Chains A and B, each alone.
Chain A
Amino acid sequence: MDAAPLPAALTPFRAVGRAVLGLLIQVGSVVLFAARGVLAMLKPPWFFGQFVRQLQTIGYFSLPVVGLTAVFTGAALALNIYTGGGRFNAEQIMPQIVALGITRELGPVLAALMLAGRVSAAIAAEIGAMRATEQIDAMQTLSTDPFHYLIAPRLAAALVTLPLLTMTADIIGVAGGWFVATKALAFNPTVYVRNTWDFLQSWDVVSGLIKAAVFGFIVALMGCYHGLNATGGARGVGRATTHAVVSAAILIFAADYLLTSLFTHR
């Protein structure tokens, strides 16, 4: 279907229009997909075995990656803030800033980004390959809804797991800062911990965990969406994997900004 010829001056608008329409269609289908996924999480049949398996692959196996990211980030953050704080003689509030930065922002975002790389990609590849080899079709003919059997367990597992991973990242990240502060910068170990603890409010941590739950949903959603909609064999699976990671990362940053502005206007 080609549109009627346009005056030459208008052709750039056609390209823009097409891109905008394409984007809207894409957004619409992601929203519909998400709604079906949420519905499948809430309504039986529930596949607990699949859920537990996903908890393990999404959560447990991501621990080392998330832990390593957190410890180095906490340490680097401590050094940076110490140096920056030194410019106006405020080195001593470094522990508080590190704790704030980790719990409210870096813990959830970094854990989510690592998960986007590890988990979104793996989900998209697995489900995409199942689509390409007609396993999704086969599942339907075996009276099993892929939204219940494949999508819901992944969404739920990521939703539950990422806050737990983030909590771990928070602790390890602060520990990274503590390590640098006490070993390289002559902070008193006990005072550092006490300062951090006294300063942090529960909302700092909780808001980070809420973010993490949203990010977890995004990570699994993008993997599932691009995987289930993969077309065109092996190349299609490759494409789905890339799209899953890129779109998950972008959506995480966008959601992070929205949630942060929501939380800070409280």
Chain B
Amino acid sequence: MSTPPPPKLEWRGVRKSFEDAHVLRGLDLSVAAGRSLVIIGASGQGKSVTIKTAAGLILPDAGEILYDGEIVDTADSRTRAALSGRLGMLFQSGALFDSLSIWENVAFRLINADGVARKTAKARAIEALARVRLGRQYADLYPSELSGGMQKRVGLARAVVSNPEIIFFDEPTTGLDPITAAAINDLIVQQVRDLGCTAVSITHDLASARTIGDEIAMLHDGRIVWRGQAADLDRSGDPYVDQFINGRSDGPIAAAF
């Protein structure tokens, strides 16, 4: 063992503004292979933007995205296409295709990008749905016929069906009741452990962060203000983290209305 392996994914000095809003102001963050990183932070701080820059959905104004220690030019469509083959993403809004049935949603990549035959793809989709505890009776329904929690699970199945190297989970439990949220957390932990993939999750649900995260990073004002092991969250000594985990309205973070 000479040099340690490079991180699986790294953001290096990433900046992104939308018109006058400077959302990311030099973000540095990394996650090692096989680890689960959770990003916490108040809403509107740019957590979704952060993972979208890594997934090639938003182009950074400056800075670099590195996979396995190599800079990935997400402006290049071919590079982006190659990249998307290695990652899975659960969107904050679910983002299921409402014109396709549940199994077609889950099998979308298999059918349209990987050239898997529909029959095989359906079998694999049903298998993936079973992993998120959705029976085959749901396979032929449409997204609008499912509850929010079920839609999240379909999104999860769609993200993991082709065994990606890296998975992004954008607020997987927001808006769900505590029991469904706990079930989703378990599913995520299980998926990450089973597949051995690297995970980056966003949440402002601290219970969820502690369950699914090996490490936690706090995003504020476009930068990472604290990062450490999940177990150290309560003794971070960081005023931002303390205010966030204690849910106080007074402190360095101004409440956003």
Q: A47-B112, A135-B98, A149-B112 are in contact. Are A141 and B93 (CB under 8 A)?
A: no
What separation, in Å, do the CA atoms of A142 and B105 have in the docked complex? 10
Would B113 and A138 count as touching, CB distance under 8 A?
A: no
Cβ contact within 8 Å between B109 and A142? yes
- What is the minimal beta-carbon distance from B149 to any residue of chain A, in angstroms? 18
How far apart are A76's CB and chain B's nearest CB, in angstroms?
A: 39
A142→B57 contact, CB < 8 A: no
A123-180, CB < 8 A from B:
130, 133-135, 137-145, 149
Residue of A45, A133, A141 ringed by the most chain B CB atoms within 10 A: A141
Cα separation A111 to B10 with both chains bound (whole Å): 54
Asked whether, in the complex, the Cβ of A134 is within 8 Å of the Cβ of B84, the reply is: no
Once the chains are docked, how many angstroms separate the CA of A141 from the CA of B56?
8
Query: Which residues of A sit under 8 angstroms from B81, Cβ to Cβ?
Result: 143, 145
A49 to chain B, nearest CB (A): 9
Q: Please, how many residues of chain B have a CB less than 8 angstroms from a CB on the other chain?
A: 25
Residues of B within 8 Å of A47, CB to CB, are 112
Chain B contacts for A149, CB-based, 8 A: 112
B112 near A142 (CB under 8 angstroms)?
yes
Given A141-B57, A143-B113, answer yes or no on A133-B95 (Cβ-Cβ < 8 Å). yes
Q: Is the CB of B89 within 8 A of A143?
A: no
Tell which of A45, A133, A135, A142 touches B84, judged by Cβ atoms closer than 8 Å: A142
Q: How close is B195's CB to chain A, nearest CB, in angstroms?
A: 16
Which residues of B88-112 have CB atoms within 8 Å of chain A's CB atoms?
A: 88-89, 91-93, 95-98, 108-109, 112
* Structural contact, B108 and A142, CB atoms closer than 8 A: yes
Inside 8 A of B233's CB, which chain A residues have their CB?
none
* Beta-carbon contact of A135 and B109 below 8 Å: no
A143-B95 in contact given A47-B112, A137-B57 (Cβ < 8 Å):
no
Q: What would be 27 A-B contacts, judged by CB atoms less than 8 Å apart?
A: A45-B112, A133-B93, A133-B98, A134-B91, A134-B93, A135-B96, A135-B97, A135-B98, A137-B52, A137-B95, A139-B97, A139-B108, A140-B57, A140-B80, A141-B84, A141-B87, A141-B89, A142-B84, A142-B158, A143-B81, A143-B85, A143-B113, A144-B108, A144-B109, A145-B77, A145-B81, A149-B112
List 6 extra interface pairs beyond A134-B93, A140-B80, A141-B84, CB under 8 A: A133-B98, A135-B95, A140-B84, A142-B84, A143-B114, A145-B81
Which residues from chain B sit less than 8 Å from chain A, CB to CB? 52, 55-57, 77, 80-81, 84-85, 87-89, 91-93, 95-98, 108-109, 112-114, 158
The 10 closest A-B pairs by CB, nearest first: A143-B113, A134-B95, A138-B95, A142-B109, A141-B89, A143-B84, A144-B112, A134-B91, A137-B57, A142-B108
